[in-house]
A and B are shown apart, each in its own frame.
Chain A
Amino acid sequence: MKIKVVKDILEANDSIARSNREAFVKMGATVFNLMSAPGAGKTTLLKTALKKLKSDYKIGVIEGDIATTLDAEQIEKIGIPVVQINTGGACHLDANMIRNAYPEFKGKKLDIIIIENVGNLVCPAEFKVGEDYKIMIHSITEGEDKPLKYPLMFKESSLLLISKIDLQPYLGVDIAKIKSDAKKLNPDIDIIEVSSKTGEGIDKFIKWIKSHLRKR
């Protein structure tokens, strides 16, 4: 017996993402979805940025991890409200997880919500969560071939942060190739080189965030 079950798996996620987005617009918050491979420095960079932004804006963070609350604890120490999502094995956050998480910010009147996705270069790019912008971090320790190997994330992101730039004297990575391949995949992507260690590029990153906030 054949049964007709027409169901678009991504569309099911996208429709929840759209309703999340509407809720974020209503809250007046601009939402950034931060993605990278494990160990690219998402949490460190996020902490650095939060310290610079928190005096001017009300910020909330949603932390996605497969297990542990280690990242959330670090964010909480800075005095930022944080909601932890443990995906229990799943390698990305999806719209439904975000739908269950953001109501915890109710009444906080946030300007900015930053979602730190699970460390992974593939799946987070496939699942919209209702964000305004995707930001990806690519550390130079990952080498120069990642844009071509993992094209979707570069295609979907509005901003590429090339991180750990202070290590370049020891690595000699072809940063120009990372940039040109990223631009081939996504001609509109903005690119900023950063180092959480030396602070290089952080102000440019903060400026980028500020210039992409929704007018209230």
Chain B
Amino acid sequence: MHEFGIAQNIVESIRQEIGDSLIKRVNKIYMEIGRLSGVSTESLEFSLQVLLDRKDSRILEVAEIEPIVLCKNCRSEFSPEDMIWICPNCGDMHGELIKGNEIRIINVEVEDEN
């Protein structure tokens, strides 16, 4: 359950941006999460529901980011399936992940006061 720690970071980051009073009214969090980030969206959702005390509705909206690896040998880019990175162009195994491990907050939606 390492998502709980990440969820705590997310809530804290949002609190710093919007303040204590608005954080209680957050009902949606829009995020970009890389496919190789190792984060389970379902666990993250559950953790956020607990932390924000909103067990009634879904909070998280996730756009999944496809990973891109840059081959350090021939400089070509490719999208890997998993964590073993073999360049389809030159066969080299030294790659650098340039996209696909993001855990990024984009927007939050706050309920109107009623």
Contacts and interface: CB of A to CB of B under 8 A. Distances in A.
Which of A3, A92, A151 is packed against the most chain B CB atoms within 10 Å? A3
A9 B17 CA distance: 13
B106 A6 contact: yes
B38 A4 contact: no
Nearest to B5: A90
Nearest to A8: B104
A160 to B, nearest CB: 15
Contacts of B101: 10
B83 A9 contact: no
B38 A126 contact: yes
B82 interface: yes
Q: Is the interface of B mostly helix, strand, loop or mixed?
A: mixed
Interface residues of B, number: 30
A5 B107 contact: yes
A77 interface: no
A182 to B, nearest CB: 11
B45 interface: no
Nearest to A123: B2
Contact of B93 (A3, A10, A122, A187): A187
Interface of B: 1-2, 5-6, 9-10, 13-14, 17-18, 22, 37-38, 82-84, 93-94, 101-112
